[in-house]
Structures are given as structure tokens and as C-alpha cells.
Structure 1
Amino acid sequence: MMRSLLSPEAITERTDAGPKPAGKRDVWICYWIVPAFYTAFGLIFVLLTRVMPPPRPDTGPEQITRFFDDHAVTIQIGFALLLLIVGGAGVANGITVFHMKRMTTGSVCAYIYMAGMAVGVLPGCLLVAFCFLAAVYRPDRDPQLLALLYDLGLLSYVGSLGCFTAAYFGFAIAIFYDRNSIFPKWLAYVTIWQIISEILATPVFVVRSGPFAWNGSISFWMGSVVFGVWLMSVITFLRKATELQPADEPALP
């Protein structure tokens, strides 16, 4: 009886009876950093620094000075926290690139995505932090200089276009031509809308009011909704891709 339980056939049968653990521990660790990072990112930009939704562009130096005076402490706290956790963006991009390299499209699109996102973090995230931190660093700064920092930070945050469109292009192409079904094909179309929303934000550099201003319904709000749908979809399917990844899958080159 004991010999039959320990026979190779019995061991194989018991091993195959239950599902093998999928994914890898390091991939799961990286995955859970992604929703944690973007939750903290949203709290910082919405509640602490008041960058989302953006304050008005059609305002003068006096109102801008009052804005920085009113929110100086929360701006310092919020962007100090951001500078501590901004590496979470690299983790988010890293796990996305990891699963993109598991696609049948190869590594080129994955590298396009990685490079585009890496370049985009400076104008799309860090520059507004440095501008706002510099603005509140010296409360007696000339109001005209405060207005310059205000404009530079918010124009960069809403109007950083080309680096992200390149990343989204690589991501969409990779999904369209992938045969491993890492991400669903409809996510590629949502990604194309990401590109469209970036292009539609171009007028923020010349328009101070209306739907194409940096706080407008098209330049900001439509782009934010599309980005929110895209981001939640990516996070959801990153989890699914990690769950379905074979536990014994060989390491990627």
C-alpha cells in the first residue's frame, strides 16, 4: 500500500490534481506597489498640492501669490512625499514592460514604452513639483517670478505630450500584434484615445480659458477620464497576466 502511494504515477497524479502556483514572488511584490503608488499619487495631487484639478490659468500675480500662501504647507508636505515615492512609477513601468516582453511582438515596443515613460516623468510629474516647491520656498519672492513658476509647472504638467504619445504608441502596437493575449485587444483602442487626448491638450500653451485651457473640459477633464479608465484597466490586466503566468516560465532575456 505504501509503495503504491509513493510510486511515480501516484506522485504525478497528486501533483497534477491541483493547480500549480502561478506567477513569481518578485512580480507579485512589484504588482502590489502599482495600485499603492497611484493611490498615493492621487491623494498628493488632489488633496495636498491642489494640482488636480489645476487652478485657473486666467489669473494674475496677486491671485497666484495668494494661492501659494494659502497652500504653502500642504504643497511642501505633498511634493516632499512625492519625491520619496516617485520611484513607484518606475516599478509600474517595469512590471508593464516585463509582461510586454512576454508578448509575441518582441522587445522593441516594450523598450519604446519604457523610454517614453522614463522621459515623461520629468515634465509630466517632477517639474511641477520643483516649480511649486521653489515658489513656496521663499515667501517674499517677487509675484512675477511666482507667476512664472506657476505657469511653467502647470503647463508642463498638463502639456507634456510627445514622450507619453510615444509610450502609448508602443503599448498599443504591442497589444495589436500580440498572440499570447497578455492584454485584451480593446485596451489598445483605449490607449489610442490616450494619444488623442494628449494631442488635444496642445492648445494649453496658447489658450487661457475655455475647453482647451489647461483646466478645460477637453484639455484636462477628458484626458483625465480617459487616463483613469486606461490606468484602472492596465492595473486589472497586469494582475490577470501575473496570475496566468506559468510558475515555471523561464526568465526573460
Structure 2
Amino acid sequence: MRARNLDVWIAYWGFAVFYAALSVGVVFFGRATPPPRPDVTAEQAAQWFEAQATGIRLGFGVLLVIAGGAAISNGIIGYFMKRMSSGRLLAYAYIAAMGVGAIPGFHLILVCWLAATFRPDRDPGLQYLLYDLGMLSYNGSLGCFTAAYAVLAIAIFYDRNGIFPKWFAYVSIWQIVTEVVATQMWVFRSGAFAWNGMITFYIAVVIFGIWIACLLPLMRTAARAETVDTPALYSAEPAR
């Protein structure tokens, strides 16, 4: 590890720790993954919140505290994109798109479900609304992430510095495909196209898992390639 990119390594491990904590929080505590059923009544949704109240309060409360990890995760990817020959504009576009997407795609479900468990005697109809709003936001926030993956793929295709391999652009394009397919969850309340369906959810989770599993070693390789002697290789600007 070089002293000149110690901050990169700190952000890299912050990225890994954040996504590990996010996975634990939404899977084992908040129970948002695998998602609960959309085809329930208001009373059933209220009963579900009552049963999961402790896990939601604990897991989602912690995630709210470390929510800034999303910005670190976006920043480290933007850092490597800025070192591509495709230039800085696409890096800034990626960071902006993911930053906007973090609100509906991550924060809103935390707030909705914590609010639902904050007053367990709340009208079941209102809890029903928070139940739907949280899940539809969490799984159905599409446009910002589609834009982010698109600019990442374009940046990789046009990059001549070899920061990330070209095949990773195709993995990112599959992320776009899953986001487009997921639009059907706003229509169906059961089946393969519902928010807990095989097509709109589980396939998307597998693709996202592959994307993360590929991205971590690629960023590690790119960070290791940086040396004090070759800073110009990772810059879109000419060496001075």
C-alpha cells in the first residue's frame, strides 16, 4: 500500500464494510430481503410490523447511522472513473445519479419502516401505506440507478487507460436490464413481476451480487496499480 493512495484504501474498505453491514441489516434484521409479500391486507401488514418491530428498530436504526457509507461507496467508484481517459464528466454523472438514487432506494425504506414501528397502535391503513411505500421505493427506484450504470458502462467502453476491463461494462448493462424489468412491480401484486417476484427481484439480486463481487477485486487491482512513479497513467488530463 502506497502512502499516496492511503485514502483510496480507506474508502475501498469502507465500501466493503458498508455493503456487508447493509446486507446484514436488510436481510437479518429489517427483513426487507427477501421481501415480504405485496398481496396482503392492511391488518396483515400491521401484524408483520409488530412481529418484525425489534429487528427493524435495531437493524434499520444502525443503517441510518452509517448511511453516509453510500456516499463513500459512490465516491470510490467515481475516483477510478476520473482516472479513465473518458474524462471526468461521466464520473460526476455517476456520483450524482447514485447520490440522488440513495434517497428513494435506501433511505426511504428505513424511515418508512421505522416510522411504522414507532407507533404500533397506528391505524393499520397508515401502516399499510408505509409498508407499500418502503418496499416500492426500495425495489422500484429505477431511473437514477439506470443512468448511473449507463454512464459507468460508457466510461469503461471509451477508457483507454484500462482501469476496469471491458467485460465489466457488460455486467453493468445487465444491471440496467434488471432495473427496466423491475418497472412491472408497480403493476403486479403477485407472481413473477411483483416486488418479491422471481423476475423483478431475485434475478436482480443475483445480478447485483455478481456486479459487487466483480467490482471489489477490480477496484483492488486498480488501486494496487497506482504508484508514485506513474500518476499520469490514471489521469484523463495530460501530464505536465
TM-score bracket, shorter-length normalisation:
over 0.9
TM-score normalised by the chain length of structure 1: 0.89
CA positional deviation for 1:238:
0.7
1: CA distance, partners of 2:217 / 2:65: 25
1: CA distance, partners of 2:2 / 2:47: 56
Match of 1:5 in 2: none
Q: Deviations over 1:130-178 (max 9, x none)?
A: 1101100101000011101000110011100000000001100000010
CA positional deviation for 1:247:
2.4
Q: How many residues align?
A: 234
* Paired-residue identity, %: 52
CA positional deviation for 1:122:
0.5
> For 1:1-253, what aligned pairs fall within 5 Å after superposition?
21=2, 24-248=5-229, 249=231
CA RMSD of superposed structures (Å): 1.6
Q: Which runs of 5+ in 1 are unaligned?
A: 1-19
Query: Per the alignment, in what secondary structure is the counterpart of residue 59 of structure 1?
Result: coil
Query: Per the alignment, in what secondary structure is the counterpart of residue 218 of structure 2?
Result: helix
Check the 8 A contact 1:116/1:167 in 2, yes or no: yes
CA positional deviation for 1:224:
0.5
2: CA distance, partners of 1:79 / 1:247: 41
CA positional deviation for 1:235:
1.3
CA positional deviation for 1:246:
1.9
TM-score normalised by the chain length of structure 2: 0.94
Check the 8 A contact 1:23/1:242 in 2, yes or no: no
Query: Per the alignment, in what secondary structure is the counterpart of residue 24 of structure 1?
Result: helix
Computing the radius of gyration from Cα coordinates, the structure with the larger value is 1
Letter in 2 for 1:102: R
Runs of 4+ in 1 over 4 A off after TM superposition: 20-23, 250-253
1: CA distance, partners of 2:106 / 2:220: 25
1: CA distance, partners of 2:140 / 2:29: 21
Q: Deviations over 1:221-251 (max 9, x none)?
A: 0101001100111111111100001224269
Q: Which runs of 5+ in 2 are unaligned?
A: none
